[in-house]
Amino acid sequence: MRVVHRNYPEKIFQNFQRDFENTEKQLSDYLNSLAEEKYISNNMAADTFIRESLNHPSDFYFFKFLNDSLVYWSDNSVPLTHLDAMIGRETRVLELANGIYFYKDTLVANTRFSGLFLIKHNYPYQNIYLDNRFHPPFRAPSSTTISFQPGTYNVKNSHGFLFSIEPPLKTTPEKVPSLILLALYALAFVSLCASLFQLYLRLGGILRSKLLLVLAFSVDVVLLRLLMFIFNVPRNLHDSYLFKPGSFAASDWIPSIGDFVFNALAIMVIAYALFITYRYIRLKSKISLFRRYFLIFSLFLHIFIFYRLFLWAVNSLIMDASYSMNLNQIFFLNADSFLAFFVLTLLLFSFFLVSYRILGLAFQYSRHHFVVYFVFFILTSAIYTLLCVFIHDCELVLFIPLLVYVIAFFFQVQSLPDLNKVGFSSVLLYLFLFAILSTAVLSTYNGHKEAEQRKLLAIDLASGEDPLTEYMLLTVVDEMKADSQLLSLLSVSPYDLDMEDQAITYIEDNYLSDRLRKYEW
């Protein structure tokens, strides 16, 4: 609640007024220190004091005037076109070409020290690098406006009114509060689903069928997730950047990385419910051979279906995003990247939970015979491979980790006295398989993404071609090849720096300056 409350207009104004008073006091303290004799008479000493005292040199800007002539300035980023009009005034908020500043000065004999600090950037044009945001340490949304007329929220100092601010009525949480809210609501969602599952377990006398229990619980989880998605619940979290298509968008059902997180949590909860519900399975002792083989085949087919869905989700997680998931470029990772890794972990964990039970059933229906188990796996693998070749949308190299997983599972459970108990060795095996599969998936799809990015870059570069310039350059090259004087200069330039400079000057004066003068060489 504190994270949400801090974005109310009254709270924004209170924080802003407090930040302004603290910053003004710091500026006054610096000006009083600069008014000492050792800094008045020595510009180098004043500059050293400023550099050593300020945590960030861009927080404050200082100017020294001697007999109204500028003799020292600490920074070049402040335009001085309107600064002369401020000299002699006690305090003033002024709007310069690149921002809104607070000005204050102190006069000692014929020396005047002027100090400024930036309140808010005010660029006439904005882009990804130039953003009209408030300068630290002012905690206010960028959409907050500043007016030099009195308003509802007036910023004052000891001399009276300075300016007014108008915070937006509806503000969005910042990045860190958004991540905190996401973690809290994700925990609440999982807790609610866990409570719902416990309720279903207590109703075991009514729902005697395990399949019916899992289906009913899955429907409730899906309905809960749909209600959250349709009505944007919780509202304050859905207003954050995590639920905007800025860094990720795959479809109408997965329009943001925040939605993907909750979708993955819902899948994981359902997978865990299936894993727990089917912990103890008793197979019928009498079952026809045809039915038993059909069940083995269908179980392996479900493994490939779930594996295909997992690969589709991970492919979308990597390809449909602006963030990076390339661990070879670790310094390009950001908060959205780690959220994506969290989603990948949830999806992979869900696949292992479901596949563990499915492979366990296939193992039991095969009567622990490796030949039967492996033959039906090869059969379903062949069908999967044919489908991949037919639709041209599969990565056959990613079939290898699944093959390793299925074979390793057989030998692992064959050595266990009870299939329903997961021992320490099983945990180590799954961690190893987890690492192999995640590495293979990330390597494959990151490679595809880099290839697509190179294609886009090539298209962008190709769109900037200038056919006329290329033709002129080819003409110039032909003329240079026939220029005997130039060839003479080039023959000796590798051995004499002066001759090399003469050759460069000759080329620029005779070939480049007239016909290709708009380009730099």
Highest mean pLDDT range out of 89-103, 184-198, 355-369, 441-455? 184-198
- Regarding the domain delimited by 6-166, which CATH topology (the fold level of the hierarchy) does it fall under? Beta-Lactamase (3.30.450)
Model confidence at 516, pLDDT cuts 50, 70, 90, reads low
Q: Given this model, what pLDDT does residue 57 score?
A: 52
> Is 361 in contact with 378 (CB distance < 8 Å)?
no
- Provide the percentage of residues in the chain whose pLDDT is more than 70: 89
What pLDDT, on a 0 to 100 scale, did the predictor assign at position 73?
Answer: 84
> From CA 347, how far away is CA 263, in angstroms rounded?
10
**Amino acid 137: pLDDT:** 82
Which of residues 310 and 395 earns the better pLDDT score?
A: 310
Check if the beta carbon of residue 60 is closer than 8 Å to that of residue 116: yes
Whether the pLDDT of residue 174 is over 80: the answer is: no
- Per-residue pLDDT of 91-144, as tens digits, reads 588 888 788 999 888 888 888 888 899 999 988 887 767 788 898 889 888 889
Return the pLDDT at 266.
Answer: 97
- In the chain, CATH 3.30.450 sits at 6-166
Which pLDDT band holds residue 158 (cuts at 50, 70, 90)? confident
- Residue 282: pLDDT band (50, 70, 90) is low
Q: 277 is written with which tokens?
A: 């519900």
Angstrom CA distances, 365 to 211, 297, 405, stand at 18, 10, 19
Most confident stretch, 355-364, 416-425, 451-460 = 355-364
pLDDT at 4 over 50: no
pLDDT at 509: 84
Q: How many CB atoms lie within 10 A of CB 166?
A: 16
The CA-based dihedral angle spanning residues 29, 31, 36, 37, taken in that order and rounded to the nearest 10 degrees: 170
Region 27-33 average pLDDT = 91
Spacing of C-alpha 52 from chain mean position: 35
What is the reported pLDDT for 236?
A: 84
What does the alpha-carbon distance between residue 369 and residue 157 come to, in Å, rounded to a whole number? 85
Q: Identify the residue with better confidence: 386 or 222.
A: 222
Instruction: Give me the pLDDT at residue 196, please.
Output: 94
Chain-wide mean pLDDT for the chain? Answer: 86
Residue 80: pLDDT over 80: no
Q: How far is CA 141 from CA 9, 16, 131, 172, in A?
A: 10, 10, 12, 8
How many other CB atoms are found less than 10 A from the CB of residue 40? 18
- Give the tens place of pLDDT for each residue, 462-485: 666 667 777 778 888 888 889 988
Q: Is 233 left (phi over 0), alpha (psi -120 to 50) or beta?
A: beta
At what angle are helices 497-507 and 484-492 packed, to 10 degrees? Answer: 150
Q: How do residues 176-203 score in pLDDT, each as one tens digit? A: 889 999 999 999 999 999 999 999 888 8
Structure tokens at 27: 């500026």
